[in-house]
Amino acid sequence: MERPSFRQLVLVQGVLCALAWGASVVSFVSQSSGVAERFAALARGPYLSFAVFAQLRVLPAYACIALVLALLVRPWLRTSAGWRTWLTVVALDVLVLLVALGPALWLSPGFFDSVERKLRVDLSLVERVHGLELLTVAFLALVAVAFASLVRQRRWRVTGGLAVALVFAGARYEPSPPQARQLARPNVLILAADSWRYDRLGAHGATRGDLTPHLDAFAKTAIDFRNHHVATASTLESWTTLLSGQFPPRHGLRSMYPSKEEVAAVERNPDLLPKRLAALGYDTVVSSDWVGNHFDLVDYGFARRDVGPVQNFEALLLEATMRAHLLPALFFSAAPGAVGDLLIPGRASLAWAARPEVLTERLFDGIDESVSAGRPFFGVLFASPTHLPYNARRPFNRRYTAADYEGPHRYQVEVRAHELITTGFSPTVPPDVIQHIRDLYDGAVADFDDVVGGVLRGLEARGLADTIVIITSDHGEDLYEPGSTLGHGTNFFGGDQSTRVPFLVRLPSRSARSIDAITRNADVAPTVLSLLGEAPPASMQGVDLTPLVRGETDDLDLTAFAETCYLFFPKARAMTGLSDAERAEVVDLAGATDTLEVDPTFRHNLVLRPSFRQAVIDAKDRMVRTSKWKLVVIPGKQRELVRLYDMEVDPAQRVDLSGRGLAAEVALRAMLEAYWR
């Protein structure tokens, strides 16, 4: 009974994997036909060689799969050579794939949830087994074969020795974290979640009592700025405002697709917060996944950047490639370090591969270096669960969703890029779907709360409980409030949900208190510098909030300004808060396919075409907000559309008070015009 040689097995597995690779290439080409023609033409034209290279870069992953499959099936073959042997090989391949991938073959992030609900069984253990990487499955299978062979030969001493060796090899050594020393300056850490709303915090009256237990406990020890607003509900512009202390008209980043010159102007600013702190002797580190790719786009001065790569056109091609090559993506997306990066090109930019626990580990790698060296650190952790598509980890992904829900977006919001840049999110969605989307979002908030709990425990374990810790967000989120749809930064209807965010500051020497006065994310950098005993530079437009912190005053009489972000899609369709006549008046620019281009001299980034840069700024809705009033101005083709709301009595913005001759409207218009200039 002759078995096929290992070389023959590898050859057959290679042929099968080559067929799978070819099918995925066909899938990639098919998917490309549904993309905007101008971008598809780029992939077929100037970037054709890169697109081809991207397909070839996946081949090592298929080769690895072929080798592992050959290793796994060979010990189990006992039939004679011939067609029956190869049928056995194929059958064993299918079995191994099922063991390694399991329900993931159905490509549904909520497959286990679906099975559990239908069968009313707990599959958490099965899920953990099926979540193993193919290499892990191969190792375990080979160990099982080795044990079976040794037992059959009754070589008990060798068997016992191998078992002991495996136990010691599997016991992960966890060294004690370095312990902090007394420093002249305190450490500073910012923890932020993308798209996290002010009202999704238990301490702020969240309707779900168990939503944020770790954050609620933190709030009891922190200064809670309860009326904190961002200048733009868009990540790049908002973080630039926070780190520069300047509003968008000053720092110059007015869209998420800036030019090389605009980015260079920001980078030349010597007063960016990381640069100022580095000059004071701080180690600076930022840890993020795909939502933090702007930290790769703009060099704010962080010495260590463990972040997702900038989402340039090449990164988008890589992402499309991996969506087509799902077999290696599902097998190796969690493979560690350089191995995973080799087998899954562009892995760091994939939303579905994001793992918050990895961000925490990378953050503490940087912190531990600083602690060991006896230097203070300034750290930033920026997490993605609360950003669309709200793909929280289990069990948070189903914590609040209805067990009997069978509608769309069951396990995450399904966002198709082509639809987003052509039509945007639908303004007419059934109430049960809206509620389900909100339930998914709440699960994502709970996921971030768990991340915060882990970071705070890590600080305590290192003796860093006296660190200045700031918890906040880059902007809020629209969840189908009246007048809005889904996403953020598109308009200012329905309330403050897109601009008002949590802002909690824990200071070692200050007791907890709540502050209801208006504050802005432009005030963060000057406040941090002041807390460290440094005078904020004149270039910062934000103000020092320490008089509020020290209780010297209850209100600094600040005014919050904000502008809408760049839109991928026609603007008027999402503005459900306007009448048909008013929507016809809205300045609707062309979508992303016409307003964006690829700049090969700027790392192949997508940038606004020069002819559209000023038009995008001029078409922005703008807002000015005081403790009592909110004025919204929407540019129109013939006239501006104006809304005025009394936020003390009408926080949901249902009654427009504009055009009634109120003195507040005149004053706010003057403020807004001065800000815009």
Q: Report how many domains make up the chain.
A: 2
Assess whether 195 and 76 both reside in one domain.
Answer: no
- Shared domain for 135 and 267, answered yes or no, is no
Same domain, 401 and 488: yes
Asked, for residue 405, whether it belongs to a domain, the answer is yes
Q: 162 and 238 share a domain?
A: no
Strand ranges in 248-337 using DSSP code E only, listed in sequence order: 283-288, 304-306
Q: Is the pLDDT of residue 574 over 50?
A: yes
**Which pLDDT tens digit goes with each residue over 332-362?**
765 656 666 677 776 665 655 567 788 898 8
Q: Structure pTM?
A: 0.85
Domain-ending residue, one of 141, 170, 199: 170
User: Is the same domain home to 552 and 441?
Assistant: yes
394 and 323 assigned to the same domain: yes
Please check whether residue 353 lies inside any domain of the structure.
yes
The dihedral sign for the CA sequence 215, 306, 295, 41: negative
pLDDT digits 0-9 by tens, 635-660: 999 999 999 999 999 999 999 999 99
State the DSSP string of 364-433.
HHHHHHHHHHT--EEEEEEE-TTSTT--PPTTGGGSSS-TT--SSSSSS----HHHHHHT-S-S---HHH
- Within a domain: 618: no
Beta-bridge mates of residue 632: 623, 643
The alpha carbon dihedral of 257, 259, 262, 265 has a sign of positive
Q: How confident is the model at residue 570 (pLDDT cuts 50, 70, 90)?
A: confident
One domain for residues 161 and 194 = no
Which range is least confidently modeled, 327-331, 451-455, 477-481, 533-537? 327-331
Clarify whether residues 84 and 228 are in a common domain: no
572 lies in some domain:
no
147, 20: one domain: yes
Provide the percentage of residues in the chain whose pLDDT is more than 90. 49
Q: Does the pLDDT value for residue 165 go beyond 70?
A: no
- The answer to whether the beta carbons of residues 565 and 217 sit under 8 Å apart is no
Averaged pLDDT for residues 148-155: 66
* Least-confidence region, from 34-43, 237-246, 498-507, 590-599: 34-43
Kindly state whether residue 62 falls inside one of the protein's structural domains.
yes
Spatial distance between the Cα atoms of 86 and 671, rounded to a whole number of angstroms: 78
Q: Are residues 160 and 192 in the same domain?
A: no
Q: What is the CATH number of the domain that holds 345?
A: 3.40.720.10
Residue 504 lies in a domain: yes
pLDDT tens digits, one per residue of 37-70? 666 677 667 777 888 888 888 888 888 888 877 7
pLDDT tens digits for 431-479?
Answer: 999 999 999 999 999 999 999 999 999 999 999 999 999 999 999 999 9
Q: Verify that 162 and 226 share a domain, yes or no.
A: no
Structural domain contains residue 569: no
Q: Which of 501, 522, 556 is the last residue of a domain?
A: 556
* CA torsion through residues 300, 304, 307, 312, sign: positive
Query: Which domain, by its residues, includes 438?
Result: 188-556
Tokens at 403, concatenated: 């067990």
Task: Please provide the average confidence, as pLDDT, over all residues in the chain.
Answer: 84
Q: Pick the last residue of a domain from 139, 170, 201.
A: 170
The answer to whether position 577 is within a domain reads no
DSSP 292: G
* CA-only gyration radius of the chain, Å: 27
Same domain assignment for residues 151 and 243: no
